[in-house]
Structure 1
């Protein structure tokens, strides 16, 4: 079973009986939180990022995950340069195909209206994913260092681009949404 909320897979688990599954669904659909779900269904698992989503601190938690990561695809110089820029630090970061991407929302589908940075052979390629061509994303430019790539991204942030909000890109497209 997977438990989703506003575009985020919050928890998962494998019920062994129909009654266990019904209990879990009842707790989740009645608005119970992660702790309520685990209390009623000990087989349910979730992690710190799900807890951060529940608290409304997913953006901060995701930045900390990347800042502490030892994963080979995480360019720490790039992460720190982005984190040092308050306008980018307010967005939800995520990696996709070795690129560091930013979203104005914390759930999937994410927004794709902020430039993307991809470390390539010691340089930093900045592209648009929103204007893809048959050859791939549209180039903005290339920088020799993370700081200059961050400047390119910040210079092209969408008008009114503020802190990321809970929800999905579809939620942001709805009339009256943030």
Structure 2
């Protein structure tokens, strides 16, 4: 249960989104379109959302301390995250992001917001290469390195955005946005790999070795629908 004594402006305005709009009006900013993240329940009062061309600014409240949690998310890609007790600063950050402030300037002007690892690369238009570099060089992926290196060596797979989840290499053209097509390569026992195209029911195939798995994954691209 949220203690609204910590948020008197929200209690008076009736909801977080209304309070944000009122603060924006007071300081001469335009926050038209701010709304709740949900249509029912306590979320109507305690959450807010601002749409932008680079995803959604999502805001929610801590229950026991005066803290506004903020996330800037585009599909499954998170641009930045942060927390503040200053509603006016939160409103200013929301307006700045919606109006297209660069990620570097955004982080400099709103130090309570922390850019995620690939935010600058995504803004520059090259997050795929940066993600491959991370998977290829970070110590935390040492166990999966042979799989990542083999997939990266295949030019048809190298153009896709890679993610590792529980040892499975997931390749997509849309940063792994939920519902988009992905090619999966999952290690099994005895040196085998399961290869699957998520857009094709029954496509799961067990390859006898790593190179066979990589070739099979690339062939899925050739005969399946465009990765979107």
Which 5+ residue runs of structure 1 have no aligned equivalent?
165-171, 173-178
Higher relative contact order (CA 8 A, sep 6+): 1
Paired residues, what number? 158
1:142 aligns with 2:204: no
Q: Which residue of 2 aligns with 1:12?
A: 81
Asked if the contact 1:28/1:37 (under 8 Å) is kept, the reply is: yes
TM-score, normalization by structure 1: 0.77
Asked if the contact 2:72/2:79 (under 8 Å) is kept, the reply is: yes
> Post-superposition shift, 1:69?
2.4
> Post-superposition shift, 1:3?
1.4
Alignment of 1:16-95 (within 5 A): 16-71=85-140, 74-95=143-164
> Post-superposition shift, 1:60?
0.2
TM-score, normalization by structure 2: 0.62
Asked if the contact 2:197/2:220 (under 8 Å) is kept, the reply is: no
Which 5+ residue runs of structure 2 have no aligned equivalent?
1-69
Q: Distance in 1 between matches of 2:203 and 2:175?
A: 24
Q: Aligned with 1:125: secondary structure? A: strand
Q: Distance in 1 between matches of 2:144 and 2:100?
A: 38
Larger radius of gyration: 2
Asked if the contact 2:195/2:205 (under 8 Å) is kept, the reply is: yes
The alignment's C-alpha RMSD in Å is 2.4
Asked if the contact 1:66/1:74 (under 8 Å) is kept, the reply is: no
